[in-house]
A and B are shown apart, each in its own frame.
Chain A
């Protein structure tokens, strides 16, 4: 590729492509075609948002974390506790509160744990989450302890649209809209100079220091933004389901979202979409067909991905496309 072609590609990479409308069209099509599966659809949308938040730190900034559910849980409990104890059950301001609490938590914990990297960082992110999980377990007066807070009710969205406990129609469209907003935010960030510098930190932080970039400040900032976004996903979870319990903070959820991102392909924005859809569909269908052994199917899929598709499903697709183009 010549210099001018490379410069042209660099200058236009951030532009929206026509195919990028597809996921959203598909999202609306699901709403119209599968009215009985919107509860599942809502879980998928929330999981995509959560995985997208992880992609910003893991895929772009190269921060490997095992504790991202800490922020999902912080958002979920913020919304739950506000509704249960403060009577604050307006959905949109609830999400804003979730973003704020999770973001501040991300800023504070990121400030501390991002001094380290590698295995130490992995352990410290895990510790942060476990501490939070235990706090939620022990602060029963506030959090409901082990049982969590069931039966939460929220005010109608925008004062008009009642949350629909049976068919999830409102929740689905609400989650789709919030996901779109979150996605646009992440998309703008990764294509900005800030986003490019995160990629630089992922590729070689030593070199990033040597070109005068404030490496840790950028990492902490990315971590806090990602945490806020994960908090929004958690808040959505509580609002959509009308309950919150310790499962939002567990290692299962943190590992699950990591697997989803690896399955879909990290550092590609759309990996979160593909990964969450495939993972949850597999879980959904396998658990129905083989109630006792369904995790085996999930495990085998992961083994296959690890062996043959290191860059996830999207990475595999890109590789095949390149190979066909080269021929």
Chain B
């Protein structure tokens, strides 16, 4: 078996007496299509925060390419190829769509700290941002401010920003939440069209999306991994159906 792209060993996090991550052993290979599901409050977002360095674990380790990144700051992990989207939009609301994506691309290309050259002269940054905006079919909104856009369009900007970082591992925290069904196909296509080189970990409640997209599924309950396997195995797992899936798959 090849080395894992991402691995966690005995990852724990508690806030006082509240254990939100309990000894999580998790593994993700390069190019994986992995879904993380579970009821609300299961600790899925906390897990993503531990992976990205927003939170420091109480104990346990996070390994990227076999190297320990447990103590590495968030920005440094981004440089090593971990990008994420947020469950609730975290965008530059007063800036245009183009400016939003340019900021991410400029950071990835190492231009973000350049003090003398006008940002407008970085044709490479602008071209790459424009490509991503086209990809997510945001072209007509490129010059509009985020706070003038409908929420669903904003979700697509989240993805464009994450892709602008050219990650090896992309963490999508409920990407479809808040997108009207008429527009969700753009999102699905965008996620489906991600290069196979990018490993994707998706947190999602939309089981249609999860079972269409994922090749592996991990179920979390109360801060611990409850079950893991292929979509077929998870769908057949009676316990999982009882705690989480309910009747969702019977339809």
Contact = CB atoms under 8 A, between A and B. Distances in A.
A288 interface: no
B95 A193 contact: no
Contacts of A215: 75
Given A212-B108, A214-B75, A197 B113 contact: yes
Interface residues of A, number: 38
Contacts of A13: 120
6 contacts: A3-B134, A10-B126, A192-B117, A196-B102, A197-B106, A212-B78
Interface of B: 52, 54, 74-76, 78-79, 83-84, 86, 90-99, 102-104, 106-108, 111-123, 125-126, 130, 133-134, 139-140, 142-144, 161, 164-165
A14 B103 CA distance: 16
B143 A9 contact: yes
A52 B67 CA distance: 46
Nearest to A203: B92
A1 B113 contact: no
B114 A192 contact: yes
A188 B75 contact: no
Interface in A130-166: none
A253 B185 CA distance: 56
Contacts, number: 142
Contacts of B116: 188, 192
A213 B96 contact: no
Interface string A286-305: 00000000000000000000
Given A1-B143, A14-B118, A197-B112, A213 B91 contact: no
B139 A3 contact: yes
Contacts of B161: 207, 211
Nearest to A225: B115
A196 B113 CA distance: 9
A4 B104 CA distance: 19
Contacts of A218: 112-113
A189 B88 CA distance: 32
Contact residues of A: prevailing secondary structure: helix
A194 B142 contact: no
Nearest to B108: A212
A194 B143 contact: no
Contacts of B79: 212
Interface of A: 1-7, 9-15, 188-189, 191-197, 199-200, 203-204, 206-215, 218
Contacts of B130: 3-4, 7
Contact of A196 (B75, B94, B119, B134): B119
Contact of B117 (A12, A193, A206, A208): A193
Given A9-B143, A207-B86, A211-B83, 11 more contacts: A3-B139, A191-B119, A191-B120, A196-B119, A197-B107, A197-B112, A200-B92, A209-B75, A213-B107, A214-B113, A215-B75
A14 B79 CA distance: 28
Contact of B112 (A10, A194, A206, A210): A194
Given A2-B140, A11-B123, A204-B90, A209 B117 contact: no
Contacts of A212: 74-76, 78-79, 107-108, 165
B127 to A, nearest CB: 8
B83 to A, nearest CB: 8
Given A3-B134, A204-B91, A207-B90, A193 B122 contact: yes
